[in-house]
């Protein structure tokens, strides 16, 4: 379980196989407030099941610049279908998406069991958040060094965040930058309205020892009161964040076994 600022130790997340095990986990997601996170490892040999994808997914997969990109896209969308099918009480092939005006995908029709989701990916990893009753936002980023972090922060961060970033020890600055970035991005994605909420209308905490927290700087632009943030350390060299409306959620994390997921070192945690 991940609460508040305790990082997700994804190594300890149980590995769950598709089928009955996934269905049991999916059915255990309670209605009120809780979230499940799924880490997808997009490396490995299995070929994606292209027949499972819809026309839009096949077009997007084909448009990726490299064979690896095509494969990663197909694998993560295949995994998302299996997750949504298990949580929503559908079959994976029947999962159909609708896209909001700012690009946020949702299920086109209400499934037998309510489910809401958001997804992110970076490098070899995908991350999916699922809830029953609140729209989640999730972001995953690789800790890629920038030549000029300050310039990027000037463009995207609120003054307060830039000051907090400058106060970090130089060795922690890159991680601090990405803690802020992923928290801001997770919030934007939970709000679902892209960058229509100015990035300097709100600030997030970014120091390593400080709980992830949102502060409103422009009270005229609040998309509702009360937002919970959780910090994630999904894999070495990556950082992530989950945003949800309301009180701090109970979050459980899992790793999906099967195509698109590395099989080694999973046995001890397999369920
Ligand atoms: C579209 C956007 C989600 C980009 O996300 P990204 O970091 O490139 O990619 P991620 O992997 O995290 O997210 C992509 C997923 O988000 C979801 N998504 C797309 N638009 C979304 C939106 N408006 N709201 C919520 N989720 C959205 C989709 O599931 C998408 O998956 P797909 O590629 O399989 O369709 C959008 O938030 C964006 O462009 N943000 C601006 C980036 C920025 O300036 N951030 C500043 C942070 S300080």
- For 254, the 3-state DSSP assignment is strand
Q: Are strands 214-216 and 202-204 parallel, antiparallel or unpaired?
A: antiparallel
Q: Is the shortest distance between the CB of 121 and ligand 1 below 6 Å?
A: yes
Write down all domains in the chain, each with its CATH number in brackets: 8-265 (3.90.470.20)
Helix residue ranges per DSSP H, 99-234: 149-156, 159-166, 173-191
Asked which of 65-69, 166-170, 195-199 is least confident by mean pLDDT, the reply is: 195-199
Helices vs. strands in the chain: H and E counts, helices first: 6, 13
| Token couple for 266 | 């999973």
The residue that leads in pLDDT, 267 or 11, is: 11
What are 211-225's pLDDT values in tens digits?
999 988 776 666 666
Distance CA 107, CA 110 (A): 7
**pLDDT number for residue 109:** 96
What are 4-50's pLDDT values in tens digits?
333 445 677 899 999 999 999 999 999 888 999 999 988 876 789 99
What are 121-141's pLDDT values in tens digits?
999 899 999 999 999 999 999
Distance CA 251, CA 270 (A): 19
Distance CA 23, CA 13 (A): 17
Q: Can you tell me the mean pLDDT for 85-104?
A: 95
Cα torsion for 238, 258, 115, 27, to the nearest 10°? -120
For ligand 1, the distance from its centroid to the CA atom of residue 99, given in whole angstroms, is 12
Asked which of 5-19, 72-86, 160-174, 217-231 is least confident by mean pLDDT, the reply is: 5-19
Q: Is the shortest distance between the CB of 184 and ligand 1 below 6 Å?
A: yes
Q: Is the shortest distance between the CB of 102 and ligand 1 below 6 Å?
A: yes
Tell me how far apart the terminal alpha carbons of the chain are, to the nearest angstrom.
16
Q: Can you tell me the mean pLDDT for 180-185?
A: 97
């Amino acid at each position: 379980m991940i609460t508040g600022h305790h990082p997700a130790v994804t190594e300890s997340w149980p590995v769950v196989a598709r089928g009955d095990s996934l269905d049991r986990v999916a059915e255990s997601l309670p209605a009120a407030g809780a979230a499940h996170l799924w880490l997808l490892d997009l490396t490995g040999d299995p070929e994606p099941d292209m027949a499972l994808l819809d026309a839009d997914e096949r077009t997007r997969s084909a448009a990726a610049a490299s064979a690896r990109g095509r494969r990663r896209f197909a694998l993560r969308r295949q995994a998302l279908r299996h997750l949504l099918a298990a949580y929503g009480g559908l079959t994976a092939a029947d999962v159909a998406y609708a896209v909001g005006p700012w690009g946020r995908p949702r299920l086109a029709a209400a499934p037998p069991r309510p489910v809401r989701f958001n997804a992110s990916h970076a490098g070899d990893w995908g991350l999916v958040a699922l809830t029953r009753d609140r729209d989640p936002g999730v972001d995953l980023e690789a800790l890629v060094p920038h030549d000029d972090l300050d310039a990027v922060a000037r463009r995207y961060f609120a003054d307060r965040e830039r000051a907090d970033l400058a106060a970090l020890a130089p060795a922690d600055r890159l991680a601090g930058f990405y803690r802020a970035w992923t928290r801001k991005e997770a919030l934007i994605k939970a709000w679902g309205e892209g960058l229509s909420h100015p990035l300097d209308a709100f600030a997030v905490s970014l120091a390593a020892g400080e709980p992830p927290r949102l502060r409103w700087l422009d009270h005229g632009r609040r998309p509702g009161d009360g937002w919970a943030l959780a910090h994630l350390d999904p894999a070495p060299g990556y950082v992530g964040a989950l945003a949800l409306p309301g009180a701090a959620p109970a979050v459980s994390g899992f790793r999906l076994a099967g195509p698109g997921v590395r099989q080694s070192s999973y046995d001890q945690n397999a369920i």
